[in-house]
Structure 1
Amino acid sequence: MFKTFDEALRWINGRLKFGVKPGLERMDWLLEALGRPEKKLNAIHVAGTNGKGSTIAFIRSILNEAGYSAGTFTSPFIITFNERISVDGMPISDEEWTALFNEVGPLVLELEKTEFGAATEFEIITACAFLYFAKYRRTDFVIFETGLGGRLDSTNVIEPILTVITSIGYDHTAILGETLEEIACEKAGIIKPGVPVLTAVHQPEAADVIKRKAKENESPHMSLHERCERYGEHSLPDGEQFSLKTPAHHYEQMETSLIGTHQRQNASLAILAAEWLTAEKHAHISPRDIRAGIKKAAWAGRFEKILDKPLTFIDGAHNKEGVDRLAETIAARFADRNVHVCFSALKDKPYTEMIRKMEAFASSIHFTSFEFPRAESAQKMFEESRSSHKTYDEQIDSVFHLIEEKTVDEQSVVVITGSLYFISAVRSVLKK
């Protein structure tokens, strides 16, 4: 079908027109045609509103420190499309992606002729991930991130050894539900009979939904907030520090290289995952492996320092809860500095509420847009803002002009935030 990776990439990007279609019938058809690759994997399944990517990065890093190979399937990408499927933190090659698309592509065309209809972009790349780890590159573990929700997500055909639910918040409410209970029910849909579930969900109404679902499935359940104690927390110049007491061990002065107060929770949840894998004899992971893995974990686009002058960070705060975590990090680190925010969002996000939250800590807000079908216009977001120091420009290049303007002000901190697609576009330019 495809002679080059560029041809294959144009094809898969063209599938975006089919949008999001919750349901597993198309995945079942594809995977049956591929020989059920998802049943051949040692999988960990991760769902949640926020924190999935960082938690996966921590788990993967810990496994690597313990000497295990770990594949990951994550979305969306921040640096390159290839990173959606990675092995030990390294994205797979153009040639490997092309081979996968050439194997799955003909089946996609066959599927379109059935009653199930056209497969979406995410369904196809999910099928590619299952195929890759079952046939092309066997790893000790594969960590799958849900794309949207959980119950009807394309990844929810796997039979994992461990389930992790990071958090519950108001995102994709048109699909997942308007209340925390409804959203939690969709996320808890990844819980399988007898498979343990670890969670950092803190809202009582959402946590109760997960507990009930775990009980119905006779799945062992552990809540980070109920069973563990985190203390001695503070920010470091290039990361975070915390101590954690779990039912199994006591970890003193753990350090992360990921910045943000919320990363202490994500790291703690990864520690529980490592403990469980060891307790159930899926792996042998020492406290030393855990400490080193937490320290070395990296995840692009999560309060990532991108420039020193002016001090510039990019952060994928793409929903209300994400902006709350961003506000906490700003308060902990830069309460005495001038924080200039560059923001862009998708049309289907509650960006008015997000803007209100940012206005509480931003000295100024600059609104812009970017090339993406669902990107909101800068002018509309500008008009929603009540800030007395606001600007807008539809061109994404305006972000770079703002950064140049702030170079002479040593008290300025620039934070580029909003849609993950937006920060990915900005990051690719700034890194060059």
Structure 2
Amino acid sequence: MRHFSAGEEVLAWIRDVANPGIKPGLHRMEWLMERLGHPERRLKFIHIAGTNGKGSTAAMIANTLYTCGYDVGLFTSPYVENFSERIRFNGQPIPEADLIEAANQIRPAVEECGQTEWGAPSEFELVTTLAIWYYAHISYPYYVVWETGLGGRWDATNVVYPVLTIITTVGLDHTQYLGETIAEIAREKAGIIKPGVPLVCGVTDPEALDVIQQVATEKKASLYVYGRHFTATPVEASEDGQSFDFSGPYRRFERVQIRLAGPHQMQNAAVALMGLEVLRQFMAFVYEEDEVLYRGMSETRWPGRLEKLADRPGIVIDGAHNPQAAASIAEAIRQLYTYDRLHLVVGLLKDKVNQDFFRPLLPLVDTVILTEPDFPRKASAEQLKEMVATLRPDVETVVEEDWRNALEAARRLAGPGDMVLVTGSLYLIGDVRKWLKNR
């Protein structure tokens, strides 16, 4: 079997060998881990699930652990601009040489798996396996901050046994895979809860919280719930970030600063701090002084989340792609941003088309420009136009299938005091971000 010698060869192999689509179930991951000698058992995972907020929470935990002197892996999905962003070590994307080495090491097992009764792994399973090998055999982090891909119970990441689990939020998303109700989706996400492993929970929906509490009790997992065991109280907020006071069962932190905007990010930050406090209290997470922890939180960056890329007119991007996320950014816009007119640019994937995505945003906007991400599963801009017309027939609506033309149309329509908000699929957000940064 010829070895890979370039990163592009690895990415092409992942696309060609992987079984297309989503394949719930852990059979293939368990088979691969056993075949590879259980590399996952060498690592300490912080496993994070949730409808929204996973990435931001993971980034804050990872950066703070790193700032406090720990070697840290961070596994997230999808990427914003480059594949290597998904697998990070100490804040840096996986180097091409390490990507090649890890792929060459797991390739025989992956090819062999395709000949078993379980069939070839999905793309996400293959990338998850590659990440585990990289962390276990090449970079050796003390902690791996480990974000689920879809749900929890049958997600490929759930092949690990973590030292801490976190569930950020529960909302209606991926209903074709996770269930049609909040309770059903909560039960899928609660699938990451392990016997005796502490759980930090940012969920506030009563129905979802009931399910999570039940599972935590069954698993004898200590439970820390936002609003009950720990809280965050806003101090100052702007479009550039915010500060808040954190109060938990073990300590209080005053005026914690983060550079992520919006009330939802304050909640994510509180969940991250509670997770770090659990590690400090029970897992011997130590650091010299609180100032280091404060710095780790304040220096965290997470691209594509209410990120401002231009002024006059202001251009802000956010990867909100479900109703709960859309409601969060609508609240942030009302509270934090000032502008003359608001122009909304939206592109979604087919499985994300939902009237409830548009409901919180349309009352705020003056113009809607509908476009399409460069992705096979993109939703038709014309379909989105019909949805917008049903909800708010009076709003000016433009259809530009090419997202570049859509962005240029928004800039032409916008005056110096206006704001352009680009949101929807992270595939769209990544392309727009790269395009604007390079201009």
TM-score normalised per structure 1 = 0.96
Q: 1:427 maps to which residue? A: 433
**Quick check: 1:345–1:351 contact (8 Å CA) kept in 2?**
no
Runs of 4+ that moved beyond 3 A: 14-17
Say if 2:240 is the partner of 1:238. Answer: yes
Secondary structure, counterpart of 2:317 in structure 1:
strand
Secondary structure, counterpart of 1:259 in structure 2:
coil
Query: Whole-Å Cα distance in 2 between the matches of residues 238 and 65 of structure 1?
Result: 21
**Quick check: 2:321–2:348 contact (8 Å CA) kept in 1?**
yes
Say if 2:189 is the partner of 1:183. Answer: no
Say if 2:116 is the partner of 1:114. Answer: yes
From 22, 28, 31, give the equivalent of 2:30. Answer: 28
Name the CA shift for 1:73/1:415 in 2 (closer, same or farther; >3 Å). same
- Tell me the CA shift for residue 289 of structure 1: 2.5
- Tell me the CA shift for residue 410 of structure 1: 2.2
Say if 2:332 is the partner of 1:326. Answer: no
Alignment RMSD: 1.5
- Tell me the CA shift for residue 357 of structure 1: 2.5
| Runs (5+) with no aligned partner, structure 2 | none
Deviates more, 1:347-356 or 1:372-381: 347-356
Query: Whole-Å Cα distance in 2 between the matches of residues 229 and 96 of structure 1?
Result: 41
- Tell me the CA shift for residue 107 of structure 1: 1.7
Q: 1:316 maps to which residue? A: 319
Secondary structure, counterpart of 2:359 in structure 1:
helix
Name the CA shift for 1:274/1:339 in 2 (closer, same or farther; >3 Å). same
Secondary structure, counterpart of 1:9 in structure 2:
helix
**Quick check: 2:231–2:270 contact (8 Å CA) kept in 1?**
no
Deviates more, 1:219-228 or 1:245-254: 245-254
Q: 1:211 maps to which residue? A: 213
- Summarize the alignment of residues 75-90 of structure 1 with structure 2, pairs less than 5 Å apart: 75-90=77-92
- Tell me the CA shift for residue 406 of structure 1: 4.8
Q: 2:408 maps to which residue? A: 401
Q: 2:45 maps to which residue? A: 43
**Quick check: 2:345–2:410 contact (8 Å CA) kept in 1?**
no
Q: 2:73 maps to which residue? A: 71
Partner amino acid, structure 2, of 1:310 = P
Q: 2:362 maps to which residue? A: 359
**Quick check: 1:304–1:315 contact (8 Å CA) kept in 2?**
yes
Say if 2:305 is the partner of 1:298. Answer: no
From 283, 286, 294, give the equivalent of 2:285. Answer: 283
Secondary structure, counterpart of 1:156 in structure 2:
helix
Q: 1:92 maps to which residue? A: 94
- Tell me the CA shift for residue 237 of structure 1: 4.4
Partner amino acid, structure 1, of 2:323 = K
Secondary structure, counterpart of 1:8 in structure 2:
helix
Query: Whole-Å Cα distance in 2 between the matches of residues 203 and 55 of structure 1?
Result: 18
Query: Whole-Å Cα distance in 2 between the matches of residues 7 and 201 of structure 1?
Result: 41
Say if 2:270 is the partner of 1:264. Answer: no
Query: Whole-Å Cα distance in 2 between the matches of residues 363 and 141 of structure 1?
Result: 46
Q: Percent identity?
A: 39
Deviation sequence 1:100-120 (CA, Å, 0-9, x none): 222222222211111001111
**Quick check: 2:166–2:199 contact (8 Å CA) kept in 1?**
yes
Deviates more, 1:229-238 or 1:89-98: 229-238
Name the CA shift for 1:4/1:230 in 2 (closer, same or farther; >3 Å). closer
- Tell me the CA shift for residue 351 of structure 1: 3.0
**Quick check: 2:242–2:258 contact (8 Å CA) kept in 1?**
yes
- Tell me the CA shift for residue 99 of structure 1: 1.8
